[in-house]
Amino acid sequence: MTSDIAIHWFRQDLRLSDNPALARAAAHGRVIPVYILDETNAGRYAMGGASRVWLHHSLTSLSKSLGGQLAVFKGSAEDVLLQLSKQTGAKAVYWNRCYEPWRMERDSRIKDNLRGSGIQVESENGSLLWEPWEITNKEGKPYRVFSPFYRKGCLAAPEPRRPLPKPVADWLVPESASTEIATLGLLPNLPWGKSITENWQIGEAAAQNRFDEFLNDGLNNYKEGRNLPAKPFVSRLSPHLHFGEVSPNQLWHTVRGILGDSNAEHFCSELGWREFSYSQLFHNRELPLTNLQTKFDAFPWRQDRDHLRAWQTGQTGIPIVDAGMRELWQTGYMHNRVRMIVGSFLVKNLLLDWRHGERWFWDCLFDADLANNSASWQWVAGCGADAAPYFRVFNPVTQGQKFDPKGEYTRKYLPELEHVPDKFLYDPWNAPALVLKAADVTLGNTYPEPIVDLKLSREAALAAFQSLKKI
């Protein structure tokens, strides 16, 4: 009998617990668990290098949870699913929805083609607390400002569904399928591919462990402490969330259960920001490419490859910026406060288009999520929904002094400045020559001189913004 076979297509839901589509497939009958690396349809949104590294390890962990019975394929998902259904006699295909425009278009085609072949197809929400089309204002339009989106939209909506247990299933792998994750070719032939994961544990169990550690050690000071990059008060759950090793529902219901705690409330509002980013992408398909505020289409961005390269490699001569960019390259992650600082520096002090930042983060971040990445860069650049005003220019010197006052974070990634006193750590160009000599620092040699003057570049940014008002 083959009528009881169903395919579960894993995507950004690389977990067994609280997996709605997997639960549906298990209830249907024997389950063929499948992952398809579809770079045929992804185009410019194919995963960046860091994401591929994480995916390799996440799939390895998932396959182990399945007893080594995860079938992996590379190619057009449409072709793979049609052929696999025919070969195995599977009568149903289940998956959890993704919300990137290219995936939605492809998935719609796949549903039509599979159903046209007499195969049952069902999709579920396994990645968001609310569907993007569910949270709208009284006129039925998407919110443009976060606060009413969250307070009047999310918190007034029906409660997100409760997490589901791991299903009991009989896994089935076709003889023609590979279970070797290495056949996907996700790991680069570079030492960086190993070093970047040194400080991470990857997979569903690791995600739960990280969440437990955050609940015990980070949540109690989250609201204020999340601004301090040297302290353990951020969750570092974003890569686990992006790949679906943990669901937002699991996080939401656990943290919402801590009543009357402002830190818990703030953490839930950050999950709300994630929902807000997905709403923006769903209602603005060109979010990664096009300014939401069209007046920025005339913004006089500069073209300077040397400045861009200095920013990418952490060689700008601005310590907190360089520390953040080196953290990104070395760990596949960057602290949220520092992301805002390096973003502001790129688009305002360097006057380089925010899309350069979006592309670099896409390649270097483990949590490179199309909705979050695009919306966040538009926020920093002042051209997005509920964006930070363009005239708000972060001062990287005072930001470093305020949020990393002892230099623990900055010195970790800039060991060449290890002996510079705290007083001059964030503006070493102002340090007396004897201080630099004692710290064994030679600007322009052991550490770069600033590539721009912070005061003059801020004035240039404000003048560029003023020019938009004349158009």
- Same domain? 228 vs 328: no
Do both 119 and 138 map to the same domain?
A: no
Q: Give me the residue label for tokens 């966040």.
A: 376
Three-class SS of the chain: CCCCEEEEEECCCCCCCCCHHHHHHHHHCEEEEEEEECCCCCHHHCCCHHHHHHHHHHHHHHHHHCCCCCEEEECCHHHHHHHHHHHHCCCEEEEECCCCHHHHHHHHHHHHHHHHCCCEEEEECCCCCCCCCCCCCCCCCCCCCHHHHHHHHHCCCCCCCCCCCCCCCCECCCCCCECCHHHHCCCCCCCHHHHCCCCCCCCHHHHHHHHHHHHHHCHHHHHHHCCCCCCCCCCCCHHHHHCCCCCHHHHHHHHHCCCCCHHHHHHHHHHHHHHHHHHHHHHCCCCCCCCCCHHHHHCCCECCHHHHHHHHCCCCCCHHHHHHHHHHHHHCCCCHHHHHHHHHHHHHHCCECHHHHHHHHHHHCCCCCHHHHHHHHHHHHCCCCCCCCCCCCCCHHHHHHHHCCCCHHHHHHCHHHCCCCHHHHCCHHHCCHHHHHHCCCCECCCECCCCCCHHHHHHHHHHHHHHHHCC
Domain stops at, among 126, 153, 188: 126
| One domain, residues 333 and 422 | yes
Polymer length in residues for the chain:
471
Whether 260 and 152 map to the same domain: the answer is yes
425: Cα separation from own chain's centroid: 30
pLDDT at 445: 98
Is the pTM above the cut of 0.85? yes
Domain-ending residue, one of 253, 283, 313: 283
Q: Domain holding 254: CATH number?
A: 1.25.40.80
Residue corresponding to tokens 């549903």: 111
Task: Provide the domain limits for residue 49.
Answer: 5-126
φ, ψ at 229 (rounded to 5°) = -65, -20
Do 305 and 433 have their domain in common?
A: yes
Instruction: Tell me whether residue 239 is in a domain.
Output: yes
Whether residues 252 and 366 share a domain: the answer is: no
Residues 292 and 385: their CA atoms lie apart, in Å, by 7
What per-residue confidence (pLDDT) applies to 2?
A: 43
Residue 367 located in a structural domain: yes
Task: Give me the CATH number covering residue 74.
Answer: 3.40.50.620
Assess whether 119 and 136 both reside in one domain: no
Q: How many domains does the chain have?
A: 3
**In this structure, are 338 and 410 located in the same domain?**
yes
* Contact in structure between 111 and 104 (CB atoms under 8 Å): no
pLDDT digits (tens, 9 = 90+) for 120-166: 999 999 999 999 999 999 999 999 999 999 999 999 999 999 999 99
47 and 92 assigned to the same domain: yes
Active site residues: 270, 273, 301, 336, 354, 377
The reply to whether 95 and 225 lie within a common domain is no
Query: 56-67 pLDDT, tens per residue?
Result: 999 999 999 999
Final residue in a domain of this structure, among 72, 106, 126: 126
Q: Are residues 116 and 211 in the same domain?
A: no
Q: Which two tokens stand for residue 453?
A: 């003057």
Tell me whether residue 363 is in a domain.
yes
pLDDT at 296: 95
Task: Determine, yes or no, domain membership for 175.
Answer: no
Residue 470 has a pLDDT of 72
Is 237 a member of any domain?
Answer: yes
Taking each helix axis from N to C end, the angle separating 319-331 and 396-403, rounded to the nearest 10 degrees, works out to 70
Asked, for residue 178, whether it belongs to a domain, the answer is no
Same domain, 93 and 134: no
Task: Say what the pLDDT of residue 204 is.
Answer: 98
Query: What is the model's pLDDT at position 1?
Result: 35
CATH number of the domain where residue 401 is located: 1.10.579.10
Asked if residue 181 is part of any domain, the answer here is no
Cα gap 27→263, rounded to integer Å: 38
**197 located within any domain:** no
Within the chain, which residues score under 70 in pLDDT? 1-3, 259, 471
